[in-house]
Amino acid sequence: MPQLSRRAFAGALPLGLIGGSLLGAGLLGDSPARAATQVAAKAPVAVNPFAQIRIGRFTVTALTDGYADMPYDYFPGRSATEVERAASAQFTARPSGVRFLFNQYLVEDGERRILIDAGAAGSIGQTGQLPQALAALGLQPEQIDAVIVTHMHQDHMGGLVLGGKNNYPGADLYIDRRDVTHWTDPAKRNGAPDYLQTSFRMAEEVVRLYPRLQAIDGEREIMRGVSIVDLTGHTPGHIGVRVEDGGKSMIMVSDMIFPVVHPAATDVFFLFEQDRAAAKAMRDRFFPLAASEGALIAATHMPFPGLGRIVADRGEMRWQVADWALQD
């Protein structure tokens, strides 16, 4: 780019960066650029963000269905004040709580398209964007060959059904048998709190509308390089998906890790977790294992695109965001 001389570049810098204060008129004053930014901020454009990485022969695309803010008192094991303080320390505190993203992952190898989770589809917060995100990739739901649902909470299976119909008619559906059994059990439904009733209702609908549901028993390969990992705890049949090829791998761990509270502690939970002892036991096993392996993790509710690693840092576990853009 010979035209872009250093002088031309310097001339284009905001005045506030050259010889003046960063907080001076150049960057934050009422410049035309600033005015334009304010107009843009008032009218956010609906976008469908997605991010892609390569795992050997696979392309994995992170797609988001949207977001919802979870009140600070939705995290048993810590007080609302403690959770808000932790969010503040991470510069993510919002008046309405901890922001959860709803990330799904499309795994493609040129022959098959596998979608991991189907999103909340408007049943929680500002969600329902997955169909548009797929459309932005040029895909219709009928072109998905398989859907793996990591567990039967509404925010992971809601998008399976649209307008009372099977929304992925061309897909095999994989769900762990322990979750299918749990979430279709009338006795379990009757004994469950109000906030889980939507998931029970949806589970019944999904089982009815998906004759191609294959209940999974234990860890197995769905196709070469795509396998199920048992992560029981968050729900009885909570599973992860490992994508592996050419010496590279990624594991989609769904709700093993929630923003703000994890992975620094394992004795803090999300409200929807019914068996807290089991949830804690799995995190106690998984977090150190993931840290020692340096495993690349994809997590549903972490900030988009939900890709990162658990690292042990001077005795504390923390989330390290992974590079994803423009990687080989």
In the complex, the residues that contact Zn ion under the rule CB under 5 A are: 155, 255
Q: Which is nearer to Zn ion, 250 or 299 (CB)?
A: 299
* Cβ at position 230, least distance to Zn ion in Å: 17
Give the single-character DSSP code of 196: G
* Residue ranges with strand state E in 134-201: 146-148, 161-162, 165-166, 172-176
Q: Which is nearer to Zn ion, 123 or 214 (CB)?
A: 123
* Cβ at position 280, least distance to Zn ion in Å: 17
β-strand pairing of 226-230 with 221-223: antiparallel
| Separation between Cα atoms, residue 37 and residue 67, nearest integer Å | 23
* Cβ at position 4, least distance to Zn ion in Å: 46
β-strand pairing of 58-70 with 98-108: antiparallel
Q: Which is nearer to Zn ion, 101 or 134 (CB)?
A: 101
* Cβ at position 304, least distance to Zn ion in Å: 14
* Cβ at position 186, least distance to Zn ion in Å: 24
User: Looking at the chain, how many residues does it have?
Assistant: 328
- The token duo for 196 is 């889980």
Q: Which is nearer to Zn ion, 139 or 156 (CB)?
A: 156
| Separation between Cα atoms, residue 64 and residue 100, nearest integer Å | 11
Neighbours of 220 (CB within 10 A): 9
Q: Which is nearer to Zn ion, 55 or 124 (CB)?
A: 124
| Separation between Cα atoms, residue 176 and residue 240, nearest integer Å | 10
In Å, the largest CA–CA distance within the chain is: 74
Residue in this structure with the two tokens 């059990």, named with its chain if needed: 185
* Cβ at position 74, least distance to Zn ion in Å: 12
- The token duo for 122 is 């408007």
| Separation between Cα atoms, residue 85 and residue 71, nearest integer Å | 13
Q: Which is nearer to Zn ion, 104 or 266 (CB)?
A: 104
3-class secondary structure, 164: coil
Q: Which is nearer to Zn ion, 66 or 225 (CB)?
A: 66
Beta partners for 101?
Answer: 67
* Cβ at position 150, least distance to Zn ion in Å: 8
* Cβ at position 170, least distance to Zn ion in Å: 25
Give the single-character DSSP code of 141: G
Residue in this structure with the two tokens 């197995």, named with its chain if needed: 220
CA distance to 31, 44, 137, per residue, from 41 (Å):
15, 6, 26
Q: Which is nearer to Zn ion, 59 or 198 (CB)?
A: 198
Q: Which is nearer to Zn ion, 109 or 255 (CB)?
A: 255
* Cβ at position 256, least distance to Zn ion in Å: 10
Please list, in sequence order, all residues whose beta carbon lies within 8 angstroms of the beta carbon of residue 325, skipping any fewer than 6 positions away. 51
